[in-house]
Amino acid sequence: MRIKAAFLAIVLFGFPFVTYSQQTCRADMTWIAFVNGIQNDIVDANWSAIALRDAHSSRVPSGEPVRYVRVHNPTAGDGVRGLFEDIIESTFQSWQIFGIRDFRDFWMHMLLPETGENSFLQEAMFAWVSSQATLNGIGTEAELVRQRHLNTYRMLLASGGGISARGNVILVAHSQGNFFANLATDDATDEEASQMRVVGVASPDNRVGLNGEYTTNSDDLMAQLFTAGRRAIGLSTLPPNSNGNLTVFNVASTTGGHSFIDSYLSGESDSREEILANIEAARASLRAGDMAACEQSGEWSFRLTSVSASTATRHTCSVGQTTCNWISGSEATDISALSSDNLLAATPQTRSAISYGVSERGTVLSASINSDVALESNAINRVPQGMTYPYSEASVGFVAQWELVAPSSFQFEFNGQSTHEFQIEPTQLPNTDGDPGSRASCTPRRLSLVNAQNGSTITFSSGHRTGIIGAGRYVARVEGGLAEAVLDSGRTFGTGYPDRSFQCSAAANWRLEIFAPQPP
């Protein structure tokens, strides 16, 4: 059936990333994540991660995408905060014997060992807390903590910025941070593990997650304390494997030669070079895995097949353009704001929502997808490999859009494997979504992102976006199928708009997107 002047936008936006990641080159981003130990106060935890970035970044060739993050472990450790508080309270009287008059003095002593201002108090206090944590693994909330850490690492794995939407992750764990890193990576899937490495520093554990390398100085007194404590209960620790070459002054004025910044990363220590070399070895190992994946997948190809006959004129949303908006979960986010920085700086809810969708950012396979060819039956677009838009341009994967004059079915393939089939019903859908920024460009509207079981009902809500709904039918594309809903015209499209429900009719892992169409 031919429908005059009928247009329908097909927006190839955010195809299922799972399929990509299984068969293509993987990471376009290597995340180096510092996992602090519980001896670290918040200043030191941050300073350590910054110092690591400072020390390591000069070794990364220009143009290689490496980003630095940190995973925070609290001062007193998960599960042992109560103990820390007990110690503060129960020993308050004792402080005064040593001239510690108040909490300010207490913290001055605790936080400033490097000044020689009673570093032993900090050592003693933390040694006690640490020994409790060490003896208990990572405290009484171990399961909860390991799961939280793994979820955090998974967020990085899913933030590669490439078409594969995957990142490589190198965990640089210091002290008790090794427990968290090791336990979390135990639970990683094989595929996840293949994209992760652990570099241990001053580890109190008896292993390194994912068989990684580690560095423990022979003059790390705190590590020796851990070893003694664990040995007393029949547990072992990794032996020192580095001559720290620390001066007596360094050991005495820091937390017993255990400090990541002052001892392990200090210029006078052998361990600095060894840690950086271990990180580089981990990066090389991960790159080798990426190369193998690339070679296995061969030349990337993109195939969009018109299953039924149709004619079409091309309408392509520019690749990397940043005017497309989306709404995910309860958060409205401009794609231009979806740089990796903003992604990580977003609130947890936003990140949680975005974590489903981060795969849709990053590498653009082709700066211009030739839809004239693509719309021919069985035509294949050869696209150059590795054309990557940097994060700063907030590329959104690839976005292509066609205006059709006939109904058609399409099949989307990647590397020869069909990943998606969808059907288009042309209809006139005026774009009156109230967003002038998107009016002249592609207008994908992700109103919600839902995982649901086959056959179940999924509901979207319009979230924060407001505007006036135009008359017509809006197409809801779901992963593996299509659903449609008619939205009322003239209604405020925002929080006041009633939720809409769709009946799922295909496989699980539904991803619902609503696309407001172009004006005719």
Partner 1 sequence: MKAKVQILRALLLVCFCVPTSKAQTTADLQVSAYQLVSSTRLDRTRFEYAYRIVVQNTSSAFATNAHGVVRSVAAATQVVDGDIFIGDVPPGAQRLITDTVVVRHDRLVPFITSNLGWTFTADLIQGATPPPDPGEQGTLTLAGIDSNANGVRDDVERVILIRHPTSQIRNALFEYARIWQDAFTGQQTTELAFAHMQRLTNSIACVYELDRDSGRLSLKRLLAEQLNTRERTYAYLRFDTLASSQLYTIPGATQASSQCPTGPF
Instruction: Give the footprint of partner 1 on residues 350-409 (CB under 8 A).
Output: none
Sole window of 143-151, 231-239, 282-290, 482-490 interacting with partner 1 (rule: CB under 8 A)? 143-151
Q: How far is the CB of 117 from partner 1 (least distance, A)?
A: 5
Q: Which residue has the tokens 């179940």?
A: 456
152: which 2 tokens? Answer: 């955090």
* DSSP character string of 281-310: HHHHHHHHHHHHHHHHH-S-EEEEEESS--
Footprint of partner 1 on residues 170-189 (CB under 8 A)? 180
Regarding 299 and contact with partner 1 (CB under 8 A), the answer is no
Instruction: Fill in the DSSP letter of residue 204.
Output: -
HSE of 228, CA atoms in CB hemisphere, 13 A: 8
Regarding 348 and contact with partner 1 (CB under 8 A), the answer is yes
Regarding 340 and contact with partner 1 (CB under 8 A), the answer is yes
Distance (Å, whole) CA 21 – CA 443? 26
Sole window of 21-29, 149-157, 303-311, 375-383 interacting with partner 1 (rule: CB under 8 A)? 149-157
Q: How far is the CB of 79 from partner 1 (least distance, A)?
A: 10
Exposure b/e, 304-325, CB count within 10 A at least 16 = b: bbbeeebebebbbbebbbbbbb
| Contact by Cβ (8 Å): 388, 364 | yes
Residue 304 backbone dihedrals phi, psi, to 5 degrees: -120, 115
Nearer to partner 1, 112 or 380 (CB): 112
Nearer to partner 1, 391 or 474 (CB): 391
259 to each of 117, 120, 222, 304, how far by Cα in Å?
A: 16, 13, 9, 56
Q: How far is the CB of 133 from partner 1 (least distance, A)?
A: 13
Q: Which of 29, 138, 156, 394 binds partner 1 (CB under 8 A)?
A: 156
Q: How far is the CB of 107 from partner 1 (least distance, A)?
A: 4
Which residues, including other chains, have CB under 8 Å from residue 435's CB and lie 6 or more apart?
Answer: 325, 443, 465, 467
Distance (Å, whole) CA 344 – CA 355? 10
Q: How far is the CB of 30 from partner 1 (least distance, A)?
A: 14
Regarding 76 and contact with partner 1 (CB under 8 A), the answer is yes
Contact flags string 245-274 toward partner 1, x per CB under 8 A: ----------------x-------------
HSE of 397, CA atoms in CB hemisphere, 13 A: 23
Footprint of partner 1 on residues 398-457 (CB under 8 A)? none
Nearer to partner 1, 76 or 458 (CB): 76
Sole window of 148-156, 236-244, 263-271, 454-462 interacting with partner 1 (rule: CB under 8 A)? 148-156
Residue 384's identity, in one-letter code, is P
Q: Which of 155, 201, 324, 447 binds partner 1 (CB under 8 A)?
A: 155
Distance (Å, whole) CA 145 – CA 132? 16
Distance (Å, whole) CA 381 – CA 397? 16
Footprint of partner 1 on residues 79-138 (CB under 8 A)? 81, 83-88, 90-91, 94-95, 97-99, 102-112, 114-121, 124-125, 127-128
Nearer to partner 1, 30 or 242 (CB): 30
Instruction: Fill in the DSSP letter of residue 239.
Output: P
Regarding 489 and contact with partner 1 (CB under 8 A), the answer is no
Torsion of the alpha carbons at 217, 220, 225 and 226, rounded to the nearest 10: -40
Nearer to partner 1, 272 or 420 (CB): 272
Q: Which of 1, 5, 43, 248 binds partner 1 (CB under 8 A)?
A: 43
